[in-house]
Amino acid sequence: MWAVIYIATDRETADRVAKAIKEEGILVKTREVMKSKRRGCCIEIIVPESEAQEAQNVILEKNLLT
């Protein structure tokens, strides 16, 4: 099973987060879940459920959300 660990509101952020997670050897996928002209898009960052906590730690340790 896959777990959503973050939802980005733009492609640049999604790519940056996914790249950092992948560099740590964690399998990661992105999935666009909403797109509209007025609100932009939402992109889910998903990882295997068994690695979700580790992936979230990567996001926090690398301070990717600031």
CATH code reported for the domain at 2-61: 3.30.70.1530
Indicate the domain borders of the chain: 2-61
- Does residue 44 contact residue 30 with C-beta atoms inside 8 Å? yes
b/e per residue 27-50 (b: at least 16 CB within 10 A): ebebeeeeeeeeeeebbbbbbeee
Ordered per-residue pLDDT tens for the chain, 66 residues: 999 999 998 899 999 999 999 999 999 999 998 776 666 789 999 999 999 999 999 999 988 776
Please give the full DSSP string across 8-19, using - where no structure is assigned. Answer: ESSHHHHHHHHH
